[in-house]
C-alpha cells in the first residue's frame, strides 16, 4: 500500500479536507457574492415594481420603457460618448509614458513606475474634489487667471460641463492605463526593433509596423480597464458635471434611492452590462486580430 502511494504523483495525494478548505472561501465569494447577486439583478429586471424587495410578476415592461423613452437613449448615448472620450484621452496620453518607461527610463524605471501608479492608491473622491476646486467659479483656475491678468472676470464655463467630467475622469483613471500598456511594450524583444532598423525601417515605421501592433493587447486591456468604471460612474458627473452631464450610473443610483423603482434600476444595470459585454467582445476580437498578425 505504501509503495503504491509513493508511486503516485504528489498532486493526487491532496487530502479532500485540504481541497475543501482551500476552495471554500473562493467558492463562497465567487458563486454567492458575484454570480448569485448578478443573477438576482437579472431576475429583478424582469419584475414589476410593487414596492416589495423582489417585485411582482414576470414582465419585459422595464426594457420596453428603456427602449422607447428617448431620455434613456440620450443618457446612454451620452454615457458611452463621455466614457469613450475618457478612454481615448487616457490611453492616448498614457501611451508615451508607457513607451518611455519601457524603452528609455533605464534605472529610473522603478521609481517612475511607482510615481505614476501612486495616485491610484489615493482617494478617488478626493481627486474628484480636487478638480472641483480647480474648476469652480471661485476656484483655483479662475482665481489664477485673474491674478495673473489673463482674465478679468471669473467664468462659469469650466464647472458643470461634460468637458469637466472628461478631464476629471481621465485624471482619475490615468494610472489604470499606463500599467497594461507598459507591460505589453516591455515584452516586445529589443532585438525585434533592432532587426527592423537594421533592415532599413525608419524610426516611425518601426513604431507603426512593429511596436504599435505588438502593444495592442495592452492598449485594449487599458481601454477596457478605463471604460468599464467610467461608463457607470455617478460621483464625477454629480460633482463636476452638473445636470447636463447626467450619466447612466446616476439614473441607476436614483432608481435605488429617490425613485425607489428597483426593478427598473436593475433593468438599466442589465443594459449597461450588455453594452460592456459588447465592448469586451469587440476588444477580444480586435485582440485576436492583432494577435494573429504578429
Partner 1 sequence: MKAERTSTKRDGRWLGLYVLAYLVFLYLPVLLIPLFSFNDSIQAAFPLQGFTLEWYATLYGNPALSGALLNSLVIGAIAASGATLCGITVSYMDLYGRSPLAATISAIARLPILIPGVIVGISLLILVNLVALGPSRIAIVLGHILVALPTTVVIMRSRFAAIPRSVREAALDLGASDWTTFRRVMLPLSLPAVLSAFMLAFLISFDEFIVVFFLAGTEPTLPLYIWSQLRFPRSLPTVMALGTVILAVSFIIAGTAEFLRHRGLGAARRNPA
**Which residues in the 250-269 window bind partner 1 by CB under 8 A?**
252-253, 256, 262, 265-266, 269
User: Which is nearer to partner 1, 5 or 292 (by Cβ)?
Assistant: 5
* Residue 63 in contact with partner 1, rule: CB under 8 A: no
* Residue 246 in contact with partner 1, rule: CB under 8 A: no
Taking the complex as a whole, the smallest distance from the CB of residue 203 to partner 1 amounts, in Å, to: 6
Q: Which of 104, 190, 258, 293 binds partner 1 (CB under 8 A)?
A: 104
Q: Count the residues of the shown chain that bind partner 1, applying the rule CB under 8 A.
A: 89
Q: Which of 80, 88, 280, 286 binds partner 1 (CB under 8 A)?
A: 280
* Residue 183 in contact with partner 1, rule: CB under 8 A: no
Grid cell locating 127: 481627486
Residue 81 gets the label, from left (phi > 0), alpha (psi -120 to 50) or beta, of alpha
User: Which is nearer to partner 1, 134 or 216 (by Cβ)?
Assistant: 134
* Residue 81 in contact with partner 1, rule: CB under 8 A: no
Taking the complex as a whole, the smallest distance from the CB of residue 229 to partner 1 amounts, in Å, to: 6
Taking the complex as a whole, the smallest distance from the CB of residue 71 to partner 1 amounts, in Å, to: 18
Q: Which of 63, 99, 151, 290 binds partner 1 (CB under 8 A)?
A: 99
* Residue 126 in contact with partner 1, rule: CB under 8 A: yes
* Residue 197 in contact with partner 1, rule: CB under 8 A: yes
Taking the complex as a whole, the smallest distance from the CB of residue 245 to partner 1 amounts, in Å, to: 16
Q: Which of 233, 245, 246, 261 binds partner 1 (CB under 8 A)?
A: 233
* Residue 281 in contact with partner 1, rule: CB under 8 A: no
Give CA–CA dist 14/23, Å, rounded: 12
* Nearest by Cα to 216 from 193, 187, 190, 192: 187
* Residue 31 in contact with partner 1, rule: CB under 8 A: yes
* Residue 184 in contact with partner 1, rule: CB under 8 A: no
Taking the complex as a whole, the smallest distance from the CB of residue 130 to partner 1 amounts, in Å, to: 4
**Which residues in the 139-178 window bind partner 1 by CB under 8 A?**
139-140, 142-144, 147, 171, 174-175
Taking the complex as a whole, the smallest distance from the CB of residue 226 to partner 1 amounts, in Å, to: 11
Q: Which of 66, 165, 181, 231 binds partner 1 (CB under 8 A)?
A: 231
Grid cell locating 65: 420603457
- Compute CA distances 197 → 91, 139, 206, 209, whole Å: 26, 50, 7, 11
Give CA–CA dist 65/73, Å, rounded: 10
* Residue 77 in contact with partner 1, rule: CB under 8 A: no
Residue partners of 61: CB distance under 8 A and separation at least 6? 48
* Residue 110 in contact with partner 1, rule: CB under 8 A: yes
Taking the complex as a whole, the smallest distance from the CB of residue 137 to partner 1 amounts, in Å, to: 10
Amino acid at each position: 500500500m505504501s509503495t503504491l502511494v509513493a508511486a503516485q504523483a504528489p498532486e493526487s495525494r491532496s487530502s479532500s479536507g485540504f481541497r475543501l478548505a482551500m476552495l471554500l472561501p473562493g467558492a463562497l465569494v465567487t458563486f454567492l457574492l458575484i454570480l448569485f447577486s448578478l443573477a438576482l439583478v437579472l431576475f429583478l429586471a424582469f419584475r414589476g415594481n410593487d414596492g416589495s424587495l423582489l417585485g411582482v410578476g414576470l414582465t419585459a415592461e422595464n426594457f420596453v420603457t428603456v427602449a422607447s423613452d428617448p431620455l434613456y437613449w440620450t443618457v446612454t448615448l451620452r454615457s458611452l460618448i463621455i466614457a469613450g472620450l475618457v478612454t481615448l484621452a487616457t490611453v492616448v496620453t498614457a501611451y508615451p509614458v508607457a513607451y518611455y518607461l519601457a524603452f528609455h527610463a533605464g534605472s529610473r524605471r522603478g521609481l517612475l513606475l511607482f510615481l505614476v501608479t501612486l495616485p491610484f492608491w489615493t482617494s478617488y473622491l478626493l481627486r474628484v474634489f480636487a478638480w472641483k476646486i480647480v474648476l469652480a467659479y471661485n476656484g483655483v483656475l479662475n482665481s489664477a487667471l485673474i491674478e495673473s491678468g489673463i482674465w478679468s472676470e471669473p467664468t462659469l464655463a469650466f464647472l458643470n460641463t461634460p468637458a469637466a467630467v472628461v478631464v476629471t475622469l481621465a485624471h482619475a483613471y490615468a494610472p489604470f492605463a499606463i500599467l497594461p500598456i507598459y507591460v505589453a511594450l516591455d515584452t516586445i524583444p529589443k532585438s525585434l526593433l533592432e532587426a527592423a532598423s537594421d533592415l532599413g525601417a525608419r524610426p516611425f515605421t518601426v513604431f507603426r509596423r512593429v511596436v504599435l501592433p505588438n502593444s495592442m493587447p495592452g492598449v485594449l486591456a487599458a481601454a477596457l480597464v478605463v471604460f468599464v468604471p467610467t461608463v457607470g460612474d455617478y460621483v464625477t458627473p454629480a460633482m463636476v458635471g452638473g445636470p447636463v452631464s447626467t450619466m447612466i450610473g446616476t439614473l441607476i443610483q436614483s432608481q435605488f434611492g429617490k425613485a425607489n423603482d428597483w426593478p427598473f434600476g436593475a433593468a438599466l444595470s442589465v443594459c449597461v452590462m450588455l453594452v460592456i459585454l459588447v465592448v469586451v467582445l469587440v476588444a477580444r476580437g480586435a485582440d485576436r486580430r492583432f494577435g494573429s498578425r504578429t
